[in-house]
Amino acid sequence: MTDRVALAERLRRHFPWITLTTLTILVGFTDVNFLRPDNLLNLAADIVPLLIMAIGMTLVIYIGSIDLSSQSIANMATVLATIALPSAGVGAGVLVLAVGLAFGAVSGVVTTRLKVPSFISTLAVGGIALSVGQFASGQQALHMDAGQRLHAFGWMVGRTAGIPHELVVALLLVVVAWFIQGRMTAGRTFKAIGAGEPVAVSSGIRVERYKILAFALSGMFAAAAGLVFSVKLSGGSPTLAEGFLLPAIVAVLVGGTPLTGGVGGVINTVIGTMIVAVIRASMLYLNIPAMGQQIFFGLVLIVAIATTIDRSKMRIVK
């Protein structure tokens, strides 16, 4: 019996890789062009904003919380980046990252100091971010000047040796998040909080500070996702990243980081995002409309939560 449990646990750790490989092969059989290197590169480049948003969200889910403000912060970032570009140039990027960090920190403070559940605090902060984006944009789409965009963020677009530059940006951000999670005290503390917050508190860890940091980093990564989105599409809108929240959460969970936290992490989310990308691509090949995609991701989210959550940490569900 013990051997069976150990085998099941090993298989569960490798389940994201198995799922990704299986889905890729199935879609490849449906359309052989799907497996062409240039198609896979384009597919990867298209999901860069989603990956960046999901990476930031991973740090919050890793501690056993949730961040529902990411999509709204990303939308707001596209607007602020577009507005600030003419006067600030590349500084517009620094500005939106700082704003995202601040909004995330507010979510953390409300959650830890006011004892408001994270899904409520981040939903409220997301509503504020949405309103800021709507007010700043006049509730309309904004466009970047092509020359100013290339001068400030030309390094973020285009290709070198066939590799899209946004993929390089995403890789650097993944490395930063992985380093924080795996090589810094903050990352080890995030894991301790997710594995058992009461134990972490009794060990003398300043849990509140690290939880605020996790939310702040999530906000900053969401803003980075918005910045990349804005530069790719040469503009901003308070609804530009609409529809990204659910796939981002799905990417984190199917990658192997459960809502109860403590296991999984950044690399798992990279795999989870690839799974989401393949699923979305297969839906496009099958001509499934956007509404159908959202329904499907909603069902996947329910299944992912039900199969990955640690019920020993949630004896009562409210």
Q: How confident is the model at residue 314 (pLDDT cuts 50, 70, 90)?
A: low
Question: pLDDT digit string (tens) for 65-121?
Answer: 999 999 999 999 999 999 999 999 999 999 999 999 999 999 999 999 999 999 999
Question: pLDDT digit string (tens) for 283-309?
Answer: 777 777 777 777 877 787 777 777 666
pLDDT (mean) for 29-35:
79
Question: pLDDT digit string (tens) for 154-212?
Answer: 889 888 888 999 999 999 999 999 999 988 999 999 999 998 888 898 888 899 999 99
C-alpha 224/C-alpha 100 separation (Å) is 8
User: Residue 315: its pLDDT value, please?
Assistant: 56
The model carries a pTM of 0.91
Q: End-to-end alpha-carbon separation of the chain, Å?
A: 33
| DSSP letter string, the chain | -HHHHHHHHHHHHHHHHHHHHHHHHHHHHH-GGGGSHHHHHHHHHHTHHHHHHHHHHHHHHHTT-----HHHHHHHHHHHHHHHHHHHTTHHHHHHHHHHHHHHHHHHHHHHHS---HHHHHHHHHHHHHHHHHHHHTSS-EE--HHHHHHHHGGGSSEETTEEHHHHHHHHHHHHHHHHHHHSHHHHHHHHHHHHHHHHHHTT--HHHHHHHHHHHHHHHHHHHHHHHHHHHTEE-TTTTTT-HHHHHHHHHHTT--TT-SS--HHHHHHHHHHHHHHHHHHHHTT--HHHHHHHHHHHHHHHHHHH--GGG-SS--
Q: Where are the domains of the chain?
A: 36-308
Question: pLDDT digit string (tens) for 207-263?
Answer: 999 999 999 999 999 999 999 999 999 999 999 888 899 889 989 998 889 888 888
User: Residue 107: its pLDDT value, please?
Assistant: 97
Q: Please, which residues bridge with residue 236 across strands?
A: 142
Average pLDDT for the chain: 88
Q: What percent of the chain has pLDDT over 90?
A: 57
Query: Which CATH number is 36-308 given?
Result: 1.10.3470
Q: How confident is the model at residue 318 (pLDDT cuts 50, 70, 90)?
A: very low
